[in-house]
Chain A
Amino acid sequence: RKEVEQDPGPFNVPEGATVAFNCTYSNSASQSFFWYRQDCRKEPKLLMSVYSSGNEDGRFTAQLNRASQYISLLIRDSKLSDSATYLCVVNMLNGGSQGNLIFGKGTKLSVKP
């Protein structure tokens, strides 16, 4: 079983739509969780961290279910500028070396006018 799995998409949605991405991880000892955004031919950039209690940043909501080893990202009122690949990232330890970071392959989102 792959360590971090995501639906590769692409998700093609109209502007204004709500879209949800899912991610599962295999190591129950994983400690911290993130969603990164990677635009075409660009480097990944942090979108948001994911906390056990769930967290929201504007139109973006992230949730974590440790029992199911499942992370989600919800985007409301999609904008054209949301078109990108969304990477699920899991760290086996809090802080410290990136040697424990596991990246998903990413889910591609395309928002159409």
Chain B
Amino acid sequence: SQELEQSPQSLIVQEGKNLTINCTSSKTLYGLYWYKQKYGEGLIFLMMLQKGGEEKSHEKITAKLDEKKQQSSLHITASQPSHAGIYLCGAAYTGTASKLTFGTGTRLQVTL
């Protein structure tokens, strides 16, 4: 969707390295969701952010929401092969908050 831009489109990192994925909205966000998808499978919910400045962490994954920039970042610390997959951000917008608009995803590969 052009309303939601993700970068980079793909990323190859060495095991143990940190990485960041960005998601920028052209419209005011009501909420921002991060999902992970493995090929042939559904989306696994990671985190939901709704308030500006909000930051959430789960294991080695941290997500932040910058309300002024309408942007969210997903940061993985000390990447592992299990982190490999496609990371998708999904936006909920005011007035249509029940449906999510997704970015095109970031494909992450973690090399040994």
Binding between chains A and B: no
Q: Hey, which bits of chain A sit against chain B, CB under 8 A?
A: none
Q: Hey, which bits of chain B sit against chain A, CB under 8 A?
A: none
